[in-house]
């Protein structure tokens, strides 16, 4: 493990955990605030569907928003305006209620399991939500209720979440992979998901400006006195060639490169650090950071991943993300 001084480790951690907004993420954050604000006006709570492929930044966005919401105590009660939960690995209605109670900080929910089921757990959850003054519920990995669950199972869970939202008067945000959008086909949700958003990958064919702005946002958050010029073509282009517009891939490489630069005592990040980082992560592979920008090839997403509920096996059910064949920079920009 690289040795860094405690202060440098904190600065590195700060960059690794940093959140950089771009227009879609800004809109989603505003949606969360708006749902909470509308709740106070009464009426049927609005709900939201948020989807994005793997590595698009859904969970990082949720964690960032969670960090912005204050949690406090009023006497013996934990006031929790935001409940972030996820679909449990062993999914059934009872386990989902227990998971939500636990995420709300209502310890002892496992004990309730032996005393009451389904409705009893639901009533306990609704009372706890009111007591904690919860204003918004975000449920992550929602696509898992669609994977190898019968239509009846999905309907039971969807009905129960609808009941929780209505009884507690709290909007729910369902977050998941692209096929989580299938929940919008359920009659009890089709009219309630007023707001529907997609977090896309970056695409050069849509114009490189948004990707460049994102790189600049990352650069100013790096732990250096002099922010690197990630927007320079000899850095920005191989970064896109490698990442194909996926934020998680991009950030993983930059985290490694920043670590190397800090260990070397560099004043900033440069191309040599990216060369080394790529060699560490992908030894023996062609290194895009060693190539001339004009010789690089680029690919970007053409179709996001999907799930086929009619497949006979798990391997056949998941349809991977599809990317266009590698093109030169001029060819890919012509697609815009």
pLDDT tens, position by position, 72-106: 999 888 999 999 999 887 778 888 888 999 999 87
Give the residue with greater pLDDT, 241 vs 120: 241
**Quick one: 184 and 242 in the same domain?**
no
Residue 5 lies in a domain: no
What mean pLDDT is predicted for residues 58-76? Answer: 95
82 within domain boundaries: yes
Mark whether 209 and 164 lie in a shared domain.
no
Report strand pairing: 77-79 vs 72-74: antiparallel
* 335: containing domain: 202-336
Q: Which of 181, 178, 200 is nearest to 300 (CA)?
A: 200
- Which residue has better confidence, 15 or 105? 15
Task: Note whether residue 18 is domain-resident.
Answer: no
Same domain membership, residue 111 and residue 141: yes
117 part of a folded domain: yes
Within 10 angstroms of residue 116's Cβ, the number of other Cβ atoms is 14
* Judgement on whether residues 77 and 88 belong to the same structural domain of the protein: yes
The pLDDT of residue 336: 63
Q: Which of 151, 176, 199 is the last residue of a domain?
A: 199
Domains in the chain, number: 2
Among 72-81, 154-163, 313-322, the range of highest mean pLDDT: 72-81
Residue 7 lies in a domain: no
pLDDT at 95: 85
Judge whether 16 lies within some domain: no
Torsional sign, CA 316, 320, 325, 331? positive
Shared domain for 153 and 55, answered yes or no, is: yes
The larger pLDDT score, comparing residue 200 to residue 152, is at 200
Q: How confident is the model at residue 1 (pLDDT cuts 50, 70, 90)?
A: very low
Residue 118's domain is classified under what CATH number? Answer: 3.40.50.300
The string of pLDDT tens digits covering residues 114-148 is: 454 777 889 999 999 999 999 999 999 999 887 76
Cβ atoms of 93 and 118 within 8 Å: the answer is yes
Residue 15 lies in a domain: no
Does residue 13 lie in a domain region? no
Mean pLDDT computed over 49-59? 97
In the prediction, which pLDDT does 110 show?
46
Last residue of a domain, one of 167, 199, 231: 199
Position 333 scores a pLDDT of 87
For residue 173, what pLDDT band results from cuts at 50, 70 and 90? very high
Indicate if the pLDDT at residue 320 is higher than 90.
Answer: yes
Report the C-alpha gap between 81 and 182 in whole angstroms: 28
Type and span of the H or E element at 253: helix 247-263
From 174, 199, 224, the end of a domain falls on 199
Note whether 211 and 325 are same-domain residues: yes
Percent of the residues in the chain that have a pLDDT greater than 90, as a whole number: 69
Give me the percent of the chain exceeding a pLDDT of 70. Answer: 96
**Claim to verify: residue 137 and residue 165 sit in the same structural domain:** yes
Question: Tens digits of per-residue pLDDT, 263-308?
Answer: 999 999 999 999 999 999 999 999 999 999 999 999 999 999 999 8
Position 156 pLDDT exceeds 90: no
Looking at the structure, tell me whether residues 62 and 193 fall in a common domain.
yes
Q: Is the same domain home to 257 and 289?
A: yes
Greatest mean pLDDT range, 185-194, 247-256, 326-335: 247-256
């Amino acid at each position: 493990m690289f040795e860094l001084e405690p202060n440098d480790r904190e600065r590195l951690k700060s960059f690794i955990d940093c959140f950089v907004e771009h227009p879609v993420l800004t809109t989603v954050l505003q949606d969360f605030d708006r749902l909470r604000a509308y709740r106070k006006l009464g009426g049927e709570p609005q709900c939201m569907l948020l989807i994005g492929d793997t590595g698009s930044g859904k969970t990082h966005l949720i964690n960032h928003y969670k960090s912005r919401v204050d949690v406090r105590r009023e006497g013996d009660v934990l006031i929790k305006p935001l409940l972030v939960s996820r679909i449990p690995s062993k999914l059934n209605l009872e386990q989902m209620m227990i998971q939500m109670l636990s995420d709300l900080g209502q310890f002892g929910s496992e004990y309730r399991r032996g005393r009451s089921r389904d409705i009893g757990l639901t009533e306990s959850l609704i009372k706890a939500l009111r007591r904690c003054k919860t204003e918004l519920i975000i449920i992550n990995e929602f696509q898992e209720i669609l994977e190898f669950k019968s239509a009846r199972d999905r309907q039971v869970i969807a009905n129960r979440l609808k009941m929780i939202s209505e009884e507690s008067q709290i909007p729910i945000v369902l977050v998941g992979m692209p096929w989580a959008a299938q929940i919008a086909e359920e009659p009890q949700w089709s009219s309630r998901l007023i707001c529907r958003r997609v977090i896309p990958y970056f695409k050069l064919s849509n114009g490189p400006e948004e990707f460049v702005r994102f790189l600049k946002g990352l650069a100013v958050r790096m732990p250096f006195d002099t922010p690197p010029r990630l927007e320079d073509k000899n850095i920005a282009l191989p970064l896109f060639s490698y990442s194909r517009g996926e934020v998680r891939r991009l950030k993983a490489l930059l985290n490694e490169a920043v670590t190397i630069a800090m260990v070397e005592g560099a004043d900033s990040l440069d191309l040599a650090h990216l060369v080394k980082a790529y060699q560490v992560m992908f030894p023996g592979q062609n290194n895009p950071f060693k190539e001339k920008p004009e010789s690089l090839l680029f690919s970007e997403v053409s179709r996001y991943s999907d799930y086929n509920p009619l497949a006979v096996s798990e391997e056949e059910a998941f349809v991977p993300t599809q990317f266009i064949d590698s093109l030169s920079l001029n060819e890919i920009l012509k697609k815009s």
